[in-house]
Every structure is written in C-alpha cells, then in structure tokens.
Structure 1
Amino acid sequence: MTALLSAKGLSRSFGGVHAVRDMGVEVREGSITGLIGPNGAGKSTLFNLLSGVIRPQSGTVVYNGEDITTLAPFRRARRGMIRTFQLSREFGRLTVLENLMLSPQMQLGERLWPLFSRPSAVARGDAAVYGRAEEVMEIAALTPLRDAYAADLSGGQKKLLELARTLMIDCDLILLDEPGAGVNPALMGTLTEMIHRLNADHGKTFLIVEHDMDLIGRLCNPVIVMTEGTFLTQGVFDTIRDDPRVIEAYLGGMVDV
C-alpha cells in the first residue's frame, strides 16, 4: 500500500508548551490506522495540524502526493480529506435528511443565478443529492430517523450522522476524532460495522484517534502511539498493548491499555 497521507517534522507550541514536537505519521491507502496516547500526548493538536485547523510552525503535510501544509480545511476537503470532531457539529434544527443533503460542496442551487437561469439543472442536482442521501442513510442505519431533528438524536446517533455526512462528499480519507465518545454499547456495534463496511466495500481510508482500546483493537491496523507530543512506536495492536514503553506512557504503567 502507498501512503495516502504523510507528515514529517510537525511541530506546534502554545505559550511555550510543545504540544507536538517533530512528529511524523503515515497513513497507508486502504488502511484503518489508529492513533492513541495518554491524555496530553498531543493527539488532538496533531489532528488539527493534519486537517488544517491550525498550521504547523515547522514540518510538512502531504496528501495524495500534494503538499497541503498551508491549505485551508475546506480546500483539503475538496481534495478528498474529511474529518469529524469529538463533539458532533450537526445542524440541530434540520432533520437527518436535511443535514445530509446540505453536506455536498459547491451544489449548483447554492448560488442565486442558476436558480433562475438553469432551474432544470438545479432540480437534477437536487434529485441526485436526495438519492445519495437515501443511500447513505441506509448504510448508516439512519433511515428510520430521516425526519427526526438532529438536536433530538442521542449521542451515538449524532456520531453516526457525523460519519454519514462525510459520505455525502467525494472523499478518500476520513479522519475520525473520538468516534466512540458518548456512544452506548448498542450503537457502538453499528458504528464499528459501518467503518468496516466503508473500508472494505467502499475503499475509504481512515485515521482514528480514540481512547477506547476495545474499539482500536477491533478496527485498527496499524496503531500509532504518541507521548509528550511526539512519536513513540507503531505496530499491530497486540504488540502495542504489551509494549513496556506504551504501558509506561499510560500513567507510569498503572493502567491497562
């Protein structure tokens, strides 16, 4: 597998605190790569650097062979790299269906002039988006909730909607920030299965930052470990779990990782 996303020498400080120091990461095309580390390891900052939310003070980010270090998040999205957030960012006053239909970028009907000059083209575009939304709701097990307001969904359902919204955009790489946070065990199985299906059946590549080691173990290969803002080790989950350096990084070996 070739590297779809790679970063080298990433560093970022805040007020003298080195959140990320000379960090490198590589995400192979077709993989589900996990990113773990103790609290304060720099995982969230790294995610923000990779997705363009903040810029590095040094280092480079390359996606699909292109240097995207200085690109804004929306330009990265147009190139096929999408991210979710730990706290879902749905439109609460819109339904599940409406949230999905709003997700595709640069829809013809978003501009005023085509509404008058090309109404048939706008209608065809809307119909295509509607059909895609129906397919995505089926994949995400959200069809029964299509007319429910997003604000009324449970935490787990909002996570499914967040992931489903990424599927409305033509993307190859999905960065998932704590997908298991706030998800009950029943919906966790649905979420895990959805990620597996998107990877195996739809060719999506994933980078997942997550504290739930059971989720990481079920989904991810390889697993990258950060500590104190930099790279510690990488490998298959079973090897990572038993690595003394990883155990030590998690509160001096006093927790089961």
Structure 2
Amino acid sequence: MTPILHATGMSRSFGGVHAVRDMSLEVAKGSITGLIGPNGAGKSTLFNLLSGVIKPDGGTVVFNGRDVTSLAPWKRARLGMIRTFQLAREFQRMTVLENLMLAPQLQLGETFWPNFLTPGKVRQQEAEIYEKACEVMEIALLAKLRDTYAGDLSGGQKKLLELARTLMIDCDLILLDEPGAGVNPALMQTLTDMIRRLNRDHGKTFLVVEHDMDMIAQLCDPVVVMTQGGYLTSGPFEEIRQNPAVIEAYLGETADV
C-alpha cells in the first residue's frame, strides 16, 4: 500500500534526554496504524514531531509525497494532516453545533470584505456548512446534543466531538493521540465504531497512539512498537503481542500487550 506518511530518522532530545532517536515510520494510505510502547517510549514526542508541534533535531517527514518537516501545524492541516490531543481541546462556551461550524478552514465570512462585497456567497457557504454539520452530528451520534455547550459534555462525548470536527475538514490523515483516554466503557465502543466508519466509509487514514490494547486489537493493522525512543518492531497485533522483544519491553506485563 502507498504510504501517505513517511518519516525517517526522527530524533529529538530535551537536555540530555533522547526522547526520540533515529525513529522511522510509514503509514499506508487507507490504513488504521497503531503506535504503542511502554511509558516513556517516546510515542507522544514522535506524535508532536509528526504533526509539527515541536521541531526535530534530525529527520524528515513526508506527507502525500511532500516534505513537510519545516511546516507549522496549521500548514500541515491545510495540506490534509489533522491531529487530536489526549485532552480534548473544544471551545467550551460554544455549542456542539458551533464547534463543528467553526472547524472548516478559509471560510469567507472570517474575513472583512466578503461580508460586504459578496454577502450572498457568504450566506450560501454558511448554509452549506450548517447542513454538513447536521450530517456529521448524526454520524457522531451528537445530534441530540447540538445545543449543549461543549464544556458540559462527558469525556467520551468530547472525543466524539473531536472526531466529528475532523469530518468538517478536508483531511486525509488523522493522528489520534489516545482517543480512549477518559472515555467510559459505555462510549468506548461507540468511539471505536466511529473511527472504523470514518476509515471505511469516508476514506480517512489513521495513526493511533493508544494504551488501551483492546481498542488497538479491534482497530489497528499494522501495529508499530516503540521502546526507548526508537523502533522495536511492527506487524499484526496478534503477532506483536506474542513477540518476546515486545513482552520484554513491557517488563513482562503480558496483560498490557
């Protein structure tokens, strides 16, 4: 499968600590690729390097055939690479509907002159965005919460809202940073099903960092394993969980792998 994301030789140190060292990673287009490893393996730092939140000391990131290593996160987003965060970053005093309608980039109404020179186009675009937001709320099972302030949602509902916002944006790759964190069991399956639907029905490619191995097992193929800031192995989850090197990296805690 063609890689949509190809990172080579990624390295980053903080003082004397090598958080990521010479790490390479490929994400095939159309896949749901998992990224796992014990605490301190460097997963979050690698995610920040891939998304442009922090700059690497070395290495390159190629997205859809373009070198994006030096690009800011918002520029990568405009190219179609979106990321979520472990702690949801919703606009708390805006409703679910308003959060979704704010997500599309380069809206005409956000600049001064179109509101006066082409108000009809502004209204037409806003109507289209509203219609799309209503469709997305149905997909994300958030329609009944459309007028609820985002800050009043549960942890799981906020994660659903984050995923829903990615549907409002023309993106190809979604980097999910621990989507299951803070999600109660009742909503975990809903979240898992939504990721699967976005992949299958909407053509979204995912790279998922997650500690919940049940979610990884359900969703991800392949699974990439990091340890001590670098690459350890990759493959189907069932092979990964039986790999002696992976078990050793997790200190023999087989229940976590």
User: Please, what TM-score do these two structures have when normalized by structure 1?
Assistant: 0.99
Indicate the residue corresponding to 2:194 in structure 1.
194
Give the Cα separation in 1 of the matches to 2:224 and 2:74: 26
Rounded to whole Å, the distance in 2 between the matches of 1:39 and 1:141 is 33
Q: 3-state SS of the aligned residue for 2:187?
A: helix
Matches within 5 A, 1:18-37: 18-37=18-37
**Aligned partners of 2:128 and 2:48: how far apart in 1?**
32
Q: CA deviation at 1:113?
A: 1.2
Secondary structure of residue in 2 paired with 1:163:
helix
Residues 165-244 of structure 1 aligned to structure 2 (within 5 Å) = 165-244=165-244
Q: Secondary structure of 1:112's partner?
A: coil
1:105-116 → structure 2 map (5 Å cutoff)? 105-116=105-116
Per the alignment, in what secondary structure is the counterpart of residue 113 of structure 2?
helix
- How far the C-alpha of 1:174 sits from its partner, in A, is 0.4
Deviation at 1:255, TM superposition (A): 4.4
Show the counterpart of 2:48.
48
Superposition pairs of residues 86-125 of structure 1, within 5 angstroms: 86-125=86-125
Structure 1's consecutive aligned runs of 4 or more residues displaced over 2 angstroms after TM superposition are none
How far did 1:22 drift?
A: 0.1
Q: Distance in 2 between matches of 1:203 and 1:210?
A: 21
Contact 2:241 2:254 (8 Å CA) reproduced: no
Shift, 1:76, TM fit: 0.4
Match of 1:13 in 2: 13
Indicate the percent of aligned positions where both proteins have the same amino acid. Answer: 73
Q: Which residue of 1 aligns with 2:252?
A: 253
Query: 1:65 maps to what in 2?
Result: 65
Gapped regions of structure 1 (runs ≥ 5) = none
Deviation at 1:160, TM superposition (A): 0.3
1:112, CA displacement in angstroms?
1.2
Distance 1:190 1:134 in 2: 18
Structure 1 residue 16 displacement after superposition: 1.1
How far the C-alpha of 1:254 sits from its partner, in A, is 3.3
SS in 2 for 1:248: helix
Q: Distance in 1 between matches of 2:44 and 2:24?
A: 14
**SS in structure 2 of the partner of residue 193 of structure 1:** helix
The aligned counterpart of 2:144 is: 144
1:147 is displaced (CA, Å) by 0.4
| 1:152-193 Cα shifts (integer Å, max 9, x gaps) | 000000000011111110001000000000111111111111
Aligned partners of 1:255 and 1:32: how far apart in 2?
23
Alpha-carbon distance in structure 2 between the residues aligned to 1:197 and 1:254: 32
Unaligned 5+ runs, structure 2: none
1:35 aligns to what SS in structure 2?
A: strand
Alignment-mate amino acid for residue 120 of structure 2: S
- 1:193-249 deviation digits (Å, cap 9, x = unpaired): 101111111111000000000000000000000000000000000000011111111
Q: For 1:154 and 1:146, locate their aligned partners in 2 and report how far apart those are by CA, in whole Å.
A: 14
- Equivalent residue letter for 1:254: E
TM-score under structure 2 length normalisation? 0.99
